[in-house]
Amino acid sequence: MPQEQADNSAEKALIQEALNGEEEAFIQLYYQYVSPLYRFIFSKVNNQQDAEDLASETFFQALKNLPSFSEKSSFKNWLYGIAKHLVLAKYRERYNASTVELDENAAFEEPKTSEGTEEHDQKIRFLDHILNLLPPNYHDVLELRFLKGYSILETADALGITEENAKVLQHRALKKANQLSADEGSYLL
């Protein structure tokens, strides 16, 4: 316990120095957290380049917003909160792109034509049909994860289940959606 208090005091001193404009203090905070933060981000995006970019952006945002840091939470939690928001933004960007990926083995490409065309409407009807064929818990987990961009933790909270259960439910839902897509796709598309 005394070591933890000393670490907290040293961190608070570094934060205060960084707030006072001392560049070296923020550099020390950077070196203290860059590796665990990178691992956290990489576990969410599973892509080295994206993880590096998001870690860099996290520290940039932290430096820019350091005056708004309050000691209500730890610096680590505040930093990870910034990273989490950036990861969610990356997910939203990815899912608003031309391909909506359910997993590595199945992707439904958006049509190259504009919205409102028969081809686009047919694709949307197909996706809605697949989702509606799923049991409600499968439908809900896929909607939260891939249409609304929730994290696994946020999905688990929304569904009132554990994070591990949410992962299992998502896996099973994706497997069932892929099976239904293969079974149903021929007459819908």
Return phi, psi of residue 94, to 5°. -65, -45
Q: What is the pLDDT of residues 77-136, one digit of tens each?
A: 899 999 999 988 888 877 665 444 455 444 444 444 445 577 766 777 777 788 888 888
User: What's the whole-model pTM score?
Assistant: 0.49
From residue 113, how far is each of 20, 67, 106, 120, 129 by CA, in Å?
Answer: 54, 46, 21, 7, 21
Reduced 3-state DSSP string for the chain:
CHHHHHHHHHHHHHHHHHHCCCHHHHHHHHHHHHHHHHHHHHHHHCCHHHHHHHHHHHHHHHHHHHHHCCCCCCHHHHHHHHHHHHHHHHHHHHHCCCEEEEECCEEEECCCCCCCCHHHHHHHHHHHHHHHHCCHHHHHHHHHHHHCCCCHHHHHHHHCCCHHHHHHHHHHHHHHHHHHHHHHHHHHC
Say what the pLDDT of residue 38 is. Answer: 94
- In the chain, the amino acid numbered 110 is E
d(CA 66, CA 24): 14
Q: What is the pLDDT of residues 136-187, one digit of tens each?
A: 888 888 888 877 788 888 888 888 898 888 888 888 888 888 788 777 654 3
d(CA 27, CA 18): 9
d(CA 43, CA 48): 10
Say what the pLDDT of residue 61 is. Answer: 92
Q: What is the pLDDT of residues 62-75, one digit of tens each?
A: 999 888 887 777 88
Angle between the 118-133 and 163-188 helix axes, to the nearest 10 degrees? 130
Give me the domains of the chain, ranges plus CATH numbers. Answer: 2-95 (1.10.1740.10), 110-188 (1.10.10.10)
